[in-house]
Chains A and B, each alone.
Chain A
Amino acid sequence: MPAIEVDRQMLPMFQSPNQGARFYNPELPETEPFVPGHRTCAGCGPSIQYRMTSKASGDNTILIGPTGCMYVANSSYLCTPYNVPWAHTQIGSAGSFTAGVAAAYEAMIRKGKWKGAFPNIICEAGDGAAADIGLGPISGALYRNHDCLIICYDNEQYANTGIQASSRTPYGGMTTFSPPGPMVPEAKSLFPKDLARMMAAGHPHCYVATASVGYPIDLMNKVRRGLNHKGAAYLMIYTPCQKGFVYETPRSIDLGRLVVECGLYPIWEWDPARRAYDYTFRPQSMRPVSEYLKLQGRFGHLHAEHIANLQRFANEQWTMMGVELPEALLRATNAENLANMESAEAAAAVAQTV
């Protein structure tokens, strides 16, 4: 019996009614593979991302959910909000389980055991699953180039277990595993693992990109580009967590833009065909990191010197993207030009009462 050729879908890009296809498009698909009624928090960044991603992907989709808040909060009490097939897998199995699904469809279609276009296979891994415990298996899936899209919904912490530091938690971020105290006034003292760049550098044949819920059309187009790419794709998406970041619920999307405008979350694409980064994405404005930090309780303990460290980090990101730094941002790397967080004293007291 001759092998049957695998039919792969090509999803069209969303057009750009304004802002370089970043903000708004009235003609989104009607389909809702991720329906309301789940148990995620108000303003939950990861679930906003989940809805955009699955809308972009459509109904011929299989979702894989390693353990994380998008598993626990979405699938409580034997109910799930998925209109497409979905499977839970272990927190360290994001890449491997997904690879299994992709391999199964390759074989079943080729051998005539399943008929239809190759499904969009999407894994939704948190940053704990993607950057820490499941890093190896995701690297394995990318390396072997299974036709799938692995998303890291990056809320910069283990949120589901009550806010613990991951290797994506930013410098200065307070979590229950990185509290501030007299010996560690900055709380988290390590800078985050540059996960997306690691994936691009190590697996240059893959489509790799970063995105943020602040730019929905850009995000959805990257989902489609990742799915259209024949082989493995990796997408890292900034998804604020109200519970862990401690901010006013309606500001999720604002944070999604501010984090980019402050240079803390560079938005780029890795083009596997050209083997090159595309840094053409530019936010509307550039701002000092303090504008992003001051909206979040997790940074409320920071002193001027810590804010200066974060500004230096942001400036390095801008430089990496080839952006010339304005004088104001250079000045903001000097602690003498900055003030402690207004809440710093109070925050220290709170930390001691835990």
Chain B
Amino acid sequence: MATATASKRKVRINGCVSAAQAAKYADVDVITAYPIRPYTATMMALAQMVANGELDAEYIVADSEHSQLSIAHGAASSGARTFTGSSGVGVQFAYELYSPISGSRMPVQMMIADRTLDPPGDFGSEHTDALSTRDMGWLMGWSCDAQEAFDNHLLAFRIGEDPRVLLPQMVCQDGFFVSHITSDVELPDTSQVKEFLPPYKHPYPLDPRHPVSHGPQIMPEQGPPLQLERARAMEGSVPVIDQAHDEFARIFGRRYDAWLEEFMTEGADVVFFMQGGHAVTARYAIRHMRARGAKVGLVRLKTIRPYPTDRVMESLSKFKAVGVIETNMGLGSVSSGGSLYAEACAALYESPERPLVLSFMAGMGGEAIVLKEFYWMTNKMLEAQKRGKIEKRTHWVGFEE
């Protein structure tokens, strides 16, 4: 049984299936599943591919998310390319494993379709699930549609498995808005993927012919070098990420900026700063407002780990006001809103031209951010620009005049 070869074609699929397709094209060896909405559809698709013989992989129905990640850890440690995923509280149930996996430098790939935590625990998308793990040493970024999700999964395998990086990857997409909305996705020719993604080869797997020990206990003074090494791996991934995106553009013909997407920022006074699927609505709203004279644009954060600090500073410093759309909970945080605000402000701190920064709590509970709300937020930014100062740091959109 082997992975069937496929040639380039266009299909209409949702974000979940798109992620599953990427795992299939990457010819993963071990898949670990545990059901939780909305990411489950990815694992359903993979189960069918394995059942059909389209993909030769061990498909393991784990007994929990903690086990999912532990199985993935064991499989990646043995030299297998490993794919897993989760949503919402499932992401958190596995929390213990995030640091051990990055600490042992195992490039496990995890697909996240965001879901609110409990409460409210509804099926809607909030980024808090994945963002709460953002400092655990995983490469992390959000896709805004099914095509980008497919591409980001392939990119993440190549970046994470690069011997200069060897870090796990969380490839995130908004639950429902991306995971369950179908759109056109171009699936590549298998030969293109072969050219782009070399086989996974960990330098020190658990192999009886070359015995190694993974993860022994250490003394406190042996800790700092290990931690520094992991930090360096994260920093060292920056040029690898750029290089991978160049190669991706050459082979697949789709060019992405790895770090930021700027949309209609030319001549803009105020911009939204956000990540994920709501950017699709934001683009539409911005086109509409631009046509009516508002100088508004969008800067979309594509990779949050490693955080493109200099790029964010360089980009956001060009504007008068920045509205951070959070879609995550940072209870009691710097802005008493979400967690993106603090990082954006920190990135801007050394800039000689700091814009005003507002934090918008929008899309909470997985609600759609509707056009009307984008217009309202734009007004808030324009008012702040006119006034020369912000009215307050955090606005709960939909709860204010």
The answer on a CB contact under 8 Å between A93 and B77 is: no
Q: Which residues of B contact A82 (CB under 8 A)?
A: 211, 213
The answer on a CB contact under 8 Å between A99 and B213 is: no
The answer on a CB contact under 8 Å between B30 and A104 is: yes
Contact digits for B114-141, partner A, Cβ 8 Å, 1 yes 0 no = 0000000000000000000000000000
* B window 34-76: CB within 8 A of A: 56-58, 60-64, 66-68, 70-76
Tell whether A1 pairs with B29 under 8 Å between CB atoms, given A75-B216, A87-B214, A88-B214: no
Tell whether A136 pairs with B100 under 8 Å between CB atoms, given A78-B218, A100-B30: no
Instruction: Say yes or no for A49: interface residue by CB 8 A criterion.
Output: no
Contact digits for A90-108, partner B, Cβ 8 Å, 1 yes 0 no = 1011011111110111111
B208 contact from A1, A59, A104, A143, Cβ within 8 A: A59
B contacts with A, residue count (CB < 8 A): 49
> Which 4 residue pairs across A and B have the least CB separation, nearest first?
A100-B74, A88-B215, A140-B63, A96-B70
Instruction: Say yes or no for B206: interface residue by CB 8 A criterion.
Output: yes
The answer on a CB contact under 8 Å between A137 and B58 is: no
Tell whether A105 pairs with B74 under 8 Å between CB atoms, given A76-B217, A80-B216, A119-B208: no
> Which chain A residue lies CB-closest to B61?
A144
Q: Which residues of A contact B222 (CB under 8 A)?
A: 77-78
Q: How far is the CB of B197 from chain A (nearest CB, A)?
A: 14
The answer on a CB contact under 8 Å between A105 and B215 is: no
The answer on a CB contact under 8 Å between A113 and B199 is: yes
> Which chain A residue lies CB-closest to B67?
A96
Instruction: Say yes or no for A64: interface residue by CB 8 A criterion.
Output: yes
The answer on a CB contact under 8 Å between A87 and B217 is: no
The answer on a CB contact under 8 Å between A110 and B56 is: yes
Instruction: Say yes or no for B207: interface residue by CB 8 A criterion.
Output: yes
Instruction: Say yes or no for B78: interface residue by CB 8 A criterion.
Output: yes
Q: Which residues of B contact A2 (CB under 8 A)?
A: 1-2
Q: Which residues of B contact A62 (CB under 8 A)?
A: 78, 206, 208
Q: Total A-B residue pairs with C-beta atoms closer than 8 Å?
A: 178
What are 24 A-B interface contacts by the 8 Å CB criterion?
A62-B78, A62-B206, A62-B208, A77-B219, A85-B212, A86-B214, A87-B77, A87-B104, A87-B206, A89-B215, A90-B100, A93-B97, A96-B62, A97-B74, A100-B32, A100-B74, A100-B75, A100-B77, A101-B74, A107-B29, A108-B79, A113-B29, A137-B64, A139-B63
A144 contact from B60, B66, B77, B80, Cβ within 8 A: B60
Tell whether A75 pairs with B96 under 8 Å between CB atoms, given A99-B74, A111-B56: no
State the A residues within 8 Å of B (CB). Answer: 1-3, 59-62, 64, 71-72, 75-80, 82-90, 92-93, 95-101, 103-108, 110-111, 113-114, 116, 119, 136-137, 139-140, 143-144
The answer on a CB contact under 8 Å between A77 and B1 is: no
> Which chain A residue lies CB-closest to B210?
A85
State the B residues within 8 Å of A (CB). Answer: 1-2, 29-30, 32, 56-58, 60-64, 66-68, 70-80, 82, 96-97, 100, 104, 199, 205-219, 222
Once the chains are docked, how many angstroms separate the CA of A300 from the CA of B29? 54
Q: Which residues of B contact A97 (CB under 8 A)?
A: 70-71, 73-74, 77
The answer on a CB contact under 8 Å between B80 and A108 is: yes
Sample of 6 further A-B pairs with CB below 8 A, known A89-B215, A90-B100, A104-B77: A78-B218, A86-B214, A89-B73, A103-B58, A108-B80, A113-B29
Tell whether A104 pairs with B211 under 8 Å between CB atoms, given A72-B217, A79-B216: no
The answer on a CB contact under 8 Å between B100 and A89 is: yes
> Which chain B residue lies CB-closest to A86?
B213
Once the chains are docked, how many angstroms separate the CA of A110 from the CA of B1? 9
Tell whether A92 pairs with B96 under 8 Å between CB atoms, given A77-B222, A136-B63, A139-B63: yes
Q: Which residues of A contact B211 (CB under 8 A)?
A: 82-86
The answer on a CB contact under 8 Å between A100 and B213 is: no
Once the chains are docked, how many angstroms separate the CA of A177 from the CA of B1? 54
The answer on a CB contact under 8 Å between A113 and B216 is: no
Q: Which residues of A contact B62 (CB under 8 A)?
A: 96, 140
Q: How far is the CB of A193 from chain B (nearest CB, A)?
A: 18
The answer on a CB contact under 8 Å between B2 and A1 is: yes
> Which chain A residue lies CB-closest to B205?
A85
Tell whether A101 pairs with B206 under 8 Å between CB atoms, given A76-B217, A108-B80: yes
Once the chains are docked, how many angstroms separate the CA of A106 from the CA of B80? 10
**Residue among B57, B62, B74, B76 with max Cβ neighbours from chain A (10 Å):** B74
**Residue among A64, A80, A93 with max Cβ neighbours from chain B (10 Å):** A93
Q: Which residues of A contact B56 (CB under 8 A)?
A: 3, 107, 110-111
Once the chains are docked, how many angstroms separate the CA of A115 from the CA of B64? 31
The answer on a CB contact under 8 Å between B80 and A78 is: no
A104 contact from B80, B209, B210, B218, Cβ within 8 A: B80
Once the chains are docked, how many angstroms separate the CA of A114 from the CA of B60? 20
Q: Which residues of A contact B96 (CB under 8 A)?
A: 90, 92
A100 contact from B63, B70, B209, Cβ within 8 A: B70
